[in-house]
Amino acid sequence: MQSVKMLVGTKEAITLVMLFVILGIIFPIFCPERYVINFAFYVLLYTSLALAWNVLGGYVGYINFGSCCFFGVGAYLAAFLIENGISDIWMHIIAGSLCSGLLGLFLGAITLRVRGIYFAISTLALSVVMQMIIINTPQLGGALGMFLVKPHAPAPYPNFTAYLFSWLFGVTLILVIITIYIERSHIGKQLIAMRDDEVAAECIGIPTLKLKLLAAFISCAFMGAVGGVYPYYIAYLEPYTTFSLEFTINPIAMSIIGGTQSWLGPIVGGIVLSSFQQYLCTTISSTLSLLLTGIIIMGIVIFVPDGIIVWLRKRGIPWKRHY
């Protein structure tokens, strides 16, 4: 076990704390306009989903086509808790992450032993099944959805979205720290070995299945945690938008755009693509933004399969390598 200091230096730790204080607390409190904070929340939501997706998709190479499902489970669990009088956000986050994480672990335990394609198909099928279960459960609002009343924001915050932004920023920061830890510790090296050649990795004693399950748990749990913040933000939770294509395709697109090999990739991709999409949604239409996302993914796959960061690095722009 390496010491924590070796994995995250003092300078970086100070940077992270400063980042949290400035962007996560001071920014939402003093944010002048409601639109700005909504925009920032939207970007952060997708960026954190992309980061979570990348833990399994990028590091291990098993593609999750059901991000919306794990996200939706967290969101619906939070909504269920709100309906039953539990309105603490930390409870929603923990409940959502545990529930989605266990769901991912269950699905992973069955499908991660065989070829990667089965995990992809199972998650794709699970998102349809989960949507159908929600539609057929009247206690969770069924097809009509649930209205959730936003409570008043606690003291220094101007509105509730700003308060949620702080929570989501905290969750994202924890996820960033975990992914940095994964990349720099022995786990990251084992994952790289596994991605290069799974049989060879197994032969030198890397517990491949355990690592895959760990990655699946972390990935799905954080999707659930992000989902736990969602119901109060959206205030009206219904199955068709919660399990919509956007939540499945955007995390994949963002990770692929930025590059799947390091934690920086999903963040860069997330910020770039979600700002672009938000711009398109407000100026043109959401269908067109979906179409453009599809075209962008295909373009990236064809022309820069390693993502922007690696592409820039090959052209001499000095991104620091972290692994």
Partner 1 sequence: MELILNTIVAGILLGGFYTLISLGLSIAFGLINISNIAHPTFVLAGGYFAYTLYTALGIDPIISGVISIPLFFIIGVFLYRVYNVLIEKRGHEKGLISLVFLFSLLILIEVGLLMIFGADWRSVYTPYMVQSVKVGMLSIPLRMFIPFVIASIVDIFFYYLFSKTFFGLGVRAIAQNPSAAMLMGYNPLKINMLAFGISLASAALGGSLLIMIQPIYPFSDRAFIGRVFAVVVLGGMGSLYGTIVASIILGLVEAVVAVFLGASWSMLISFAILLLTLLLKPEGLFRR
**Contact set with partner 1 (CB under 8 A):** 57-58, 61, 63, 65, 107, 110-111, 113-114, 116-118, 120-122, 124-126, 128-129, 132-133, 135-136, 245, 249, 252, 256, 260, 287-288, 290-291, 293-295, 297-298, 301-302, 305
What percent of the residues of the chain are helix, what percent strand, and what percent coil, each to the nearest 5? 75, 0, 25
Structure token pair of residue 111? 């499908």
Pick the closest to residue 70 from 86, 84, 87, 56 (CA basis).
56
For residue 147, what are the β-bridge partners?
Answer: 236
Structure token pair of residue 131? 């949507």
- Whether the CB-CB separation of 281 and 172 falls below 8 Å is answered with no
Shortest gap between Cβ of 133 and partner 1 (angstroms)?
A: 8
Exposed/middle/buried for 306, CB within 10 Å: 0-12, 13-18, 19+? middle
- Whether the CB-CB separation of 177 and 16 falls below 8 Å is answered with yes
**Residue 179 C-beta-side C-alpha neighbours within 13 Å:** 31
Query: Quick count: other Cβ atoms within 10 Å of Cβ 81?
Result: 18
**Residue 295 C-beta-side C-alpha neighbours within 13 Å:** 7
Taken in order 223, 225, 228, 233, the sign of the CA dihedral is negative
* Cβ distance to partner 1 smaller for residue 282 or 287: 287
Backbone angles phi, psi at 62, to 5 degrees: -105, 120
Specify whether the backbone of 115 is left (phi greater than 0), alpha (psi in -120 to 50) or beta: beta
